[in-house]
Chains A and B, each alone.
Chain A
Amino acid sequence: MKLPNELKIGLTVVLAGIIFYVGIRFFRDLPIFGQASVYHTELMNSSGLVTGNIVAVNGVGVGSITEVQLTLTGAYISFSVQDDVTLTEGTTASAGGFGLVSSMQLNLSLGPPDAPVYVPGSLIPSAVQSDILTDLANRTPAVLSRVDTVLAGSSQAISAATALLAGPEGQMQQTLTSIRNSSDALHAILMAEQGSLQSVLQGLEDLTDTAEAFTEDSLGTTTAKLKEVIAQLSGNLDVLESTTNELNTLLSSINQGKGTLGKLATDDSLYFELKGASAALRRILENFEEDPRQYLEHLKLIDFF
């Protein structure tokens, strides 16, 4: 069949246009037909974001940056987001990525789903600029205070137990339950926080990939913060140790006793749990104190320690 020229040309041009459009949408990971809405944000520091960088929610690309402009106070960034992603109030934007192997991206941390929705064109607030170091410094005390609370509860219970050793047997049961609950909680927290502490330290390691961002000042601050954290942990460890010692004493006096006290003596899992929990915490700290390079092996400036 011989097509007329007009038709051939028309088909070719239109087809090329479609391929161009679809190709760009495909490689930008945008929906081919869905419309993307444009939002804006203002960052103190664009961290090298450029037009075309991915906009991600939980690491999933949902759009791309359409414009980056310099303003007096930072960088004004316009970005498009797929229509099926709703940005609710509470959503914050921050620059992320390490720029070395993977490119920079704009991370969105979504607000609660039931919050009012930002209409396209709104200004999304930027997340408080927090790097991993600040994160570490901010998160560690929170962990410690939780450990503290539990330890306090547990030592209270133990002192109560000690005090009640001379008391009637009926209250003994209650006290032992209290001790058990406390130690369970302590164990759980330590296990959980061991993970999060490690991930914080892991983050620090990752951060060394962008070591050029460090200045000596910020390194000094970091060192100070880390030492402070370690001191706090050690202090708490002392408390835990003394508590454990007290508990040991308690247990030996129970062992010497009779009746329900004898029951407690055979239930040595309680003892091991407490001991194990304290050991876990101790291990992390010892590891870190003995060899910080294990966690910060790429950070050359750590030699200043």
Chain B
Amino acid sequence: MPSIVLRITQPFFDIGRFTMLMSSAFMSLREMGTYWQNFQIQLVRIGIDSIPIVALAAAFSGAVTTVQTAYQLVSPLIPPRIIGAVVVPSLTMELGAVVTGFILSGRVGARIAAELGTMRVTEQIDALEAMGLNSIGYLIVPRVLAGIVMLPVLYVAACLVGIVGGIVSAELTGVVSTGEFIQGAREHWNFFGPYFGLIKAFVFGFLITAVSCYIGYYTKGGADGVGRSTTRAAVMSCVLILVADLILAILLL
């Protein structure tokens, strides 16, 4: 086949193979009992171990959003409590989920691709299969499920820390008091906001882990191939997060 045709068909080939991989993973769900131990390990690695870095990023997002919102509110007609009304929905609807997603793309996506890629090139995946084990069930299902479960948890942590970060920076810079900040947030509380954020986190959790698993699982070549997979997983996760973010916003808002 000429290379131009391959280039055009490659994305469809990937989408097809990804879909097949995910449906195999879905079929393996009933064997979940066998992989319970693995699932727990992944919950800790993907979720709990990520809390510190997610919290750090969220705290700074909250603080920066607060300070910048205050900076842009030059009109004396606009009460400062509007800062709370801007920062809190920004965090719950957008930043909380997206910042968490980006952090996890780098931290978890790259790690998954490197792990599975190494297992592929050192024939560990073949070894699992040769033993009669379902490698997809054993390796991919626990990771994707852990992502789906833990991303919403991390999202909640990010929102909490982000809002606290916003309040702290508001107090430190003196742009608005805590009371006013919260009053503003309450006045403009968006009922759907946190649920929207939760849905996003859920989708991102699936995308990051599933795509990284896919890329890692089908790694080719030696150490070089693992390196390429790792980079690709992190980049693809980020791109998919942006695309999914936009699609979800269009569909749900």
Contacts and interface: CB of A to CB of B under 8 A. Distances in A.
A34 to B, nearest CB: 17
B244 interface: no
A8 B186 contact: no
B27 interface: no
Interface residues of B, number: 28
Given A16-B153, A27-B186, A9 B194 contact: no
B40 A29 contact: no
Interface of A: 5-6, 8-9, 12-13, 16-17, 19-20, 23-24, 27-29, 50-52, 54, 61, 64, 101-103
B40 A28 contact: no
Q: In terms of DSSP, what is the predominant structure of the interface of chain B?
A: helix
Contacts of B198: 20
Given A19-B160, A20-B156, A51-B191, 6 more contacts: A12-B51, A23-B160, A50-B191, A52-B190, A52-B192, A54-B186
Residue of A23, A28, A54 contacting most chain B CB atoms (<10 Å) = A23
B153 A28 contact: no
Nearest to B149: A13
A103 B189 CA distance: 10
Q: In terms of DSSP, what is the predominant structure of the interface of chain A?
A: helix
24 contacts: A5-B44, A8-B48, A9-B40, A9-B43, A9-B47, A12-B48, A12-B153, A13-B153, A16-B157, A17-B156, A20-B198, A23-B156, A23-B160, A27-B88, A27-B186, A50-B191, A51-B192, A52-B189, A52-B191, A54-B187, A61-B186, A64-B191, A101-B79, A102-B187
Contacts of A5: 40-41, 43-44
A29 B186 contact: yes
Contact of A9 (B44, B160, B182, B185): B44
Contacts of A17: 156
